[in-house]
Structure 1
């Protein structure tokens, strides 16, 4: 998942208290959760510095630590660890390194991360552990923490789900693809058994953390649309502007990282594939990716195309609209799969309000939410040919972050909120509605058409939302 748990996991305290910024700390257990396999990897790292380099290890089965489950275990394509532990000269033939990448020694990165100490741990994915480090602005030497260039150092975990093949893909793609919405690869280390990658540090971590981490503040509507637009620009670059088209293949919230200004950047190119050439519409490959995000035709046939990425983008956009995960077994029956649950509402200009993230509390653009929902429906079309190109997605998203017609001032939204509050209150009191009557324990109590007049119902008395009072930009 790239280095998805960056800034949020650093410097956690064991006691729960409020920081100056008002965010509540979650305790050291958060950090320990990620350190099981990292510590075993670290012990091998330390042993290798004591003259044990070159040792071959057998791959051991491990449990996937991410909530996202791979469609097919990535490790099945990486070969044995004997391959990964082969001599460096062999790999130098495979490695197509861009001139701008810096080549680090292992000892430099060990010192830059303060000996891979737990306090430097940022997160963990299928590739391995990610540590915060500090290096020279224009060199490779380690520097004092808080000075020089802050970086994220990703280490290859030999017991993990990804291996040398994915490491090579990461260096190959990010070494030559430069774009504001792709995370910058600073350099790499390939030394004996060690495979490390050095990235720019993304201080706001992953989109996944901001959407789903317990205790996190809800992302404002304009920020959500800004992130969606930035991520779409990254995919559009890969599909339309790169020297040769690239299919990202693993687009999900944990792979969308955010800089200090919430600019979105795509990370983790270990599963990326070069797109089809000539008249071909797809490339055939083994099905790999993450359940809940992978396009249905790709899962069924192994036919991979840029429209597979478009589908994945639609899933992430839906997660941003609803505040729900793509797959969540903790939800009631019928709501486990986000796409199937939300699909019937996306085309309805009124009922889609009911699936929006309640934490937004009406602070979202009515027009923008309608357009975003329609766009998500197009991206999630079961027919790949009916999905838009990412460049079209970008054009649709461009105006959305700046729309000012807030739903909180919409008559329809206020009516819906009142109706929802009434339903919640009735449910709490053991009351339900049935065929126009209020029912408690199976006995009708009174007609809904009381002396106060008929109750407003969005489905029976639809009201168009008023035109925005503020000028749209």
Structure 2
């Protein structure tokens, strides 16, 4: 009996030891395993850090401009039919409205044809420069896009560009046969042009060289795109350093930077001066260069208007074609921006980024209003005037 009791006690002790060992092993395993979170969103930041980074969405790449044979340019222009001419380029070349789309089912295009005869190396150089810059600048919503080109003909070349049915800003500001742009549209156009110049200056270090109302084209909705890079130059610019590469631009009469005309030094601030004149032009409705005097001289808009703006503001200066339908506060602010842009010394002028931001701030009400009031009405009215003429 005593032997059985001893054996039973030993069995109990062995069972307890085995149970204790198993318990320790289980606890150790639990300590090594990561504890599941009770709620999936308890530590969202940690979960985000642990998750693989999202794959960035690639912007669709704009198609490369097509290279055309000269016979294709002839087909687009109907054999260079004069009836298809819709304008003239700054270098004297004709601009045709394409008879057939460049891309099947695509919109009409404008074909800018350059001829070397009569201009020789100068016209060839302007064409090559514009083609090279258009291809490298790429697509921007406020620059007229290059769709195709032809550059291997011995007598000329062609640039196939987006067609802007709204005509030029110069037409809409100065020609009595076209309906004038409203104040709101003018402010939107000015902001669009400033955005285009800001992109050229800051993204690709290019000076446009010929900012003018004739080089601002309007689409069907009253938005603007800057065109004509034939006078552009590129390089590392400052207000007092000549360009590293490219031809120095002279600019159109009334828009050309007086500092450049005196010194031959071109800079981004030369474009700022031209844009300042454009601001005054949109404000007053007067062309940048007035009618020639009997002695052949011409008083430019900036020289005529600036003394009055400085002394009396914009009273009596706003375009009469607006019929008083404009924002007087915005008009005064735009005039003050223009005064800064046309300062005599380039170093006193703001950058295009600063100018674009100032226009966006001071004309915010008008710019915002153009996003809700449509824009096809202006174009339809313009078409009626064209059909009647």
Q: What is the TM-score of this pair, normalised by structure 2?
A: 0.71
Q: Deviations over 1:342-393 (max 9, x none)?
A: 1112234x54221111111211111110110000000010121111111111
Q: Residue 148 of structure 2 corresponds to which residue in structure 1?
A: 187
Whole-angstrom CA distance in 2 between matches of 1:387 and 1:278: 12
Q: Indicate which of 297, 302, 317 corresponds to 1:355.
A: 317
How big is the alpha-carbon RMSD for the aligned residues of Structure 1 and Structure 2? 2.6
Contact 2:97 2:111 in 1 (8 A): yes
- Secondary structure, in 3 states, of the residue corresponding to 1:167? helix
- Secondary structure, in 3 states, of the residue corresponding to 1:217? coil
Q: Residue 374 of structure 2 corresponds to which residue in structure 1?
A: none
Whole-angstrom CA distance in 2 between matches of 1:277 and 1:261: 35
Q: Indicate which of 150, 167, 171 corresponds to 2:108.
A: 150
Q: Residue 123 of structure 1 corresponds to which residue in structure 2?
A: 87
Q: Indicate which of 217, 238, 242 corresponds to 2:179.
A: 217
Q: How much does 1:223 deviate?
A: 0.4
Q: Residue 170 of structure 2 corresponds to which residue in structure 1?
A: 208
Q: Residue 106 of structure 1 corresponds to which residue in structure 2?
A: 70
Whole-angstrom CA distance in 2 between matches of 1:230 and 1:344: 28
Whole-angstrom CA distance in 1 between matches of 2:223 and 2:198: 16
Contact 1:294 1:312 in 2 (8 A): yes
Alignment of 1:256-335 (within 5 A): 256-276=216-236, 281-283=241-243, 286=248, 288-329=250-291
- Against the structure 1 CA distance between its residues 400 and 219, is the aligned structure 2 distance closer, same or farther, given a 3 Å change threshold? farther
Q: Residue 379 of structure 2 corresponds to which residue in structure 1?
A: none
Q: Residue 202 of structure 2 corresponds to which residue in structure 1?
A: 240
- Secondary structure, in 3 states, of the residue corresponding to 1:304? coil
Contact 2:233 2:248 in 1 (8 A): no
Whole-angstrom CA distance in 1 between matches of 2:263 and 2:212: 21
2:335 paired with 1:373: yes
Structure with max Cα Rg: 2
Q: How much does 1:152 deviate?
A: 0.5
Q: Residue 167 of structure 1 corresponds to which residue in structure 2?
A: 127
Q: What is the TM-score of this pair, normalised by structure 1?
A: 0.59
- Against the structure 1 CA distance between its residues 277 and 124, is the aligned structure 2 distance closer, same or farther, given a 3 Å change threshold? closer
Whose helix proportion is higher, 1 or 2?
Answer: 2
Whole-angstrom CA distance in 2 between matches of 1:386 and 1:169: 30
Q: Deviations over 1:395-446 (max 9, x none)?
A: 1111444537xxxxxxxxxxxxxxxxxxxxxxxxxxxxxxxxxxxxxxxxxx
- Secondary structure, in 3 states, of the residue corresponding to 1:154? strand
2:302 paired with 1:339: yes
- Against the structure 1 CA distance between its residues 160 and 129, is the aligned structure 2 distance closer, same or farther, given a 3 Å change threshold? farther
Q: Residue 7 of structure 2 corresponds to which residue in structure 1?
A: none
Q: Indicate which of 163, 186, 189 corresponds to 1:227.
A: 189
Whole-angstrom CA distance in 2 between matches of 1:369 and 1:160: 44
Contact 1:223 1:401 in 2 (8 A): no
Whole-angstrom CA distance in 1 between matches of 2:308 and 2:237: 38
